[in-house]
Structure 1
Amino acid sequence: MSRKYPNVAKAEKYARDVVAGKIIACKWIKLACKRHLDEKKLSRSKDFPYRFDPERAERVAKFIQLLPHTKGKWARERLPITLEPWQLFSICIPFGWIIKKTKTRRFRRLLVFVPRKNGKSVIAAGIGLYMFVADNEFGAEVYSGATTEKQAWEVFRPAKQMVDRTPALKARFGIESNASNMNVPSDGSRFEPVIGKPGDGSSPSCALVDEYHEHKDSDLYDTMETGMGARDQPMMVVITTAGANIGGPCYTLVRDAQKMLDGALDMPDMWAMIYTKDEEDEWSSELALRKANPNYDISVSGEFLRARCRDAMQSAHKQNTFRTKHVNEFVGAKSAWMNMSKWQMAPERKSLEELQGRPCYIGLDLATKIDIVAKVMVFPPTLDDPNYHVHCKFYIPEARLMEEGEVNSERYQEYDHLGLLTVTAGEVIDFSAIEDDLKDDLGTHNVQEVAYDPWQAAQLAQNMENEGAVMVEIRHTVQNMSEPMKETEALVLSQRLAHGDDPVMTWMMSNVVATLDKKDNIYPNKERAESKIDGPVALIMALARAIVHDQSNGLDDFASNPIMVGI
């Protein structure tokens, strides 16, 4: 193997060293390496549908390493690219896996999630050029897609420079390099940057999506992917760092990839390399930096990272930037309140059926009739269960789903498709739908109180009081919101808030910014109008009432006693 396929040998040695603990790596890289090694053994079975062809992987590695560097000292010295073992494994090995029956490529989606300064542009440009001229795809169409012209050129520019600086490559494949595109006249292949969607009639054989975290929606990704239908073995390539938008498509893609590596999702056509720190690692530690940056002291110096880390430890703003760009963590809003890593470590939530008979407190955020509003049910601890269980319901007028110019319309449509929204007819929320649900709640659950902000809700409150509900007014003031907001955070940090990982609530929670006053009071706020926080506000209101009652009867202290936890 090492003589005939030296690059594959280096890549697989990297995988074995990672699994053996000889190379520092996070959980996700260990799982990706183990997956390859395990599936190579499985491929000997007739029942396993895939096999690994080292020749195909070696071919990609050799091609990319014939290309020149385009930046820095290596470019000045006119040196060809040398792929590091982690790069050989991340980008060449997936090209070697094929479907036994069709002999076409197995992996159609390739995700390399890696911090800045780790050679992302070189990797993407190399893959793009291979798919452009060396993949044996007649009439190949390769697009470097982005939301801005500047970003689209971040991959296309180095690819074009590689071609322009390699006359032998031009001659071998008959490449014409123009100002804004490259093409091969003999078969019509082309490589070009695209801002937004590709044009009608496009049939991408390869789509390169750089810095996917900057995309507000999955529009470009989806359009590229659906356009690949006519190709036998297309490749969707996403090479990106983390970002600040935990509700965006990049975060969703990374989360899906993590679930795939963990075995929770069956995604046999996805190859994912996720370089970041582990949950238990301190973000400012040397260990975290080495796990997240595979090119540590190669293309990104350890001293540079340590210097930026020192700066980040002195500034909350710089900390978020450092953690996204160099530790590769999604940190939610730029001044996010909630620790979203802890949020995702919530205990298992009981179903509504299991919670019947248990005291229940409801929070209603009805601040607007023209956008999404929230109803949140909170079930406090009992003697045999120390956790608060949360169930949410979100309402939206039908007009908002399809409204032109609505930033969140695609997100709302996806949530609706998943059955996470209650859509009411017309231009505004039909409050009668909320009243009907509250009546059902009163009949089904042991509802103690319904907390509401009187803005927009006076008539609803009166109607529900006539139905026997105990309606408690909570105005959205700092005085009313600060303590329950702090309690909400404490419950999350102590892993006692079972929220069911509701995608709508998770997105909204990531949008919450904590406004702090001189007396250390906090108040839930948001950075932008489109950053909805209705769910968290309703949750804080419901918890405000639940915690008051729990503290008055001593249940909260009893349930949180370490002796009782787990009994």
Structure 2
Amino acid sequence: MPFSNYIYEYYDGITTGKIVVGKWVRLIYEYIVSGLQNGLFLFNAKKANKAIRFIENFCHHCEGRTDLLKLELWQKAAVSLIFGIVDEDNVRIFREVFIVIGRKNGKTLFASAVIAYMAYLDGEYGAKIYCLAPKLEQANIVYDNFFQMIKKEPELSELAKKRRSDIYIEESNTAIKPLAFNAKKSDGFNPHLVVNDEVASWRGDGGLKQYEVMKSALGARRQPLILSISTAGYENDGIFDELMARSTAFLKGGSKERRLLPLLYMIDDVEKWNDLEELKKANPNMGVSVSPEFFKE
């Protein structure tokens, strides 16, 4: 039986046991599916599929190979959640997306593809997109990845111009820029998209303040997004812990968050760190971009 969307297809795989996920991923999909069934929000297949099609037809790998990205089911479901879950005015529900995932599962590539879609096709004129990190060289990782990605696609690269401090797309007056922490200077921002890479390494207070500044600046946009992607980290009282605490409270039903989308690909049982089945929970790309042999070693 064909599914009406990738969210249902992925959820079916989870519930039938074909797909191994941890408890937090199971909980977010239970929440979404029941929300769709109870009319808490709607699914716009056109919006979701437009983003998926763009990524698969225009976004290239940029390390070790240059072919087009082929999204796995878990990634198609994630893109469908981010871009396809809307309210009755057809405005996207989720403003904050928090993805925690094991190494080598293509998180930088995924972030770059989201940047490309929101820069080229999201329909926001004058969009400002920031790649944010404590230091500029860290912020440059996703930013450069995005630039390499669009360079491989003539249709995208001819519209983009690399300037000294940003990449500019004249057609939609959009600028994509890497940014190091400076909460004092961030007040004038009006971001359409902020990508925070590897937030587990953002220590203490600086990251919290910077995140809050960016979050409060989203208000002027119609469908803004903060995307934070990280491998699981150690507690350091920073933004990673804050997002983790908010996400797990929400998933346990203990908060009324409406704008937060946590996709926490983590193992449930730390004692089983050497069990391949358990490791699948943190590595949805096992067998695709990461081989089981890599873990055995």
Question: Of 21, 26, 35, which aligns to 1:25?
Answer: 21
CA distance in 1, matches of 2:279, 2:228: 22
- CA 1:201–1:298: 2 relative to 1, 3 Å: same
Q: Which runs of 5+ in 1 are unaligned?
A: 308-567
SS of aligned partner of 2:272? coil
Equivalent residue number for residue 150 of structure 1: 137
Q: In the alignment, which residue of structure 2 is the partner of 1:265?
A: 255
Change (3 A) 1:147 1:122: same
Q: Tell me, in whole angstroms, the C-alpha distance in 1 between the residues paired with 2:256 and 2:118.
A: 26
- Correspondence 1:281-320 to 2 at 5 A: 282-307=272-297
User: Offset at 1:110?
Assistant: 0.7
Higher relative contact order (CA 8 A, sep 6+): 2
Q: Is 1:234 the counterpart of 2:224 in the alignment?
A: yes
Structure 2 distance, partners of 1:79, 1:187, is 27
Instruction: Please name the residue that 2:62 is paired with.
Output: 70
Provide the C-alpha distance between the structure 1 equivalents of 2:104 and 2:294, rounded to a whole number of angstroms: 11
State the TM-score, normalizing by the size of structure 1: 0.49
Deviation at 1:201, TM superposition (A): 2.4
Aligned residue number for residue 499 of structure 1: none
Considering only CA atoms, is the larger Rg found in Structure 1 or Structure 2? 1
Distance 1:56 1:105 in 2: 9
CA offsets 1:351-371 (integer angstroms, 9 cap, x no match)? xxxxxxxxxxxxxxxxxxxxx
Shift of 1:271: 1.1
Q: Percent identity?
A: 28
* 1:103 counterpart = 2:90: yes
Counterpart of 1:292 in 2: which secondary structure? coil
Does 2:193 match 1:191? no
C-alpha distance 200-255 of structure 1, shift in aligned 2 (>3 A) = closer
Q: Closer, same or farther in 2 for the Cα pair 1:280/1:211, shift >3 Å?
A: closer
Show the counterpart of 1:88: 76
- The reply on whether 1:170 has 2:157 as its aligned counterpart is yes
- Cα distance between partner residues in 1 of 2:186 and 2:30: 40
1:179 deviates by: 5.2
Question: Displacement of 1:139 after TM fit?
Answer: 0.3
Task: Provide Cα deviations, 1:447-467, integer angstroms capped at 9, x if missing partner.
Answer: xxxxxxxxxxxxxxxxxxxxx
Any unmatched runs of 5+ in structure 2?
none
TM-score (norm 2): 0.92
Q: Which residue of 1 is the match for residue 32 of structure 2?
A: 36
Work out the CA distance in 1 between the residues paired with 2:251 and 2:69: 30
Q: What is the aligned-residue RMSD (CA, Å)?
A: 1.9
The match for 1:113 is 100
Post-superposition shift, 1:287? 2.2
Distance 1:294 1:41 in 2: 26
Shift >6 Å, 4+ stretches: none
CA positional deviation for 1:19: 2.2
Write the distance in 2 (CA, Å) between the matches of 1:109 and 1:63.
22
> How far does residue 281 in structure 1 lie from its aligned partner after superposition?
5.3
CA distance in 2, matches of 1:255, 1:22: 29
What's the counterpart of residue 114 of structure 2? 127
Q: Distance in 1 between matches of 2:294 and 2:52?
A: 29
SS in structure 1 opposite 2:200? helix
CA deviation profile, 1:429-478 (whole Å, cap 9, x unmatched)? xxxxxxxxxxxxxxxxxxxxxxxxxxxxxxxxxxxxxxxxxxxxxxxxxx
Between the aligned partners of 1:126 and 1:252, the Cα distance in structure 2 is 26
Q: 51, 54, 79: which is aligned to 1:60?
A: 51
| Partner SS state of residue 71, structure 2 | coil
Say how many residue pairs are matched: 291
**2:123 paired residue number:** 136
Partner secondary structure for residue 188 of structure 2: coil
Give, in angstroms, the shift of residue 285 of structure 1: 1.6
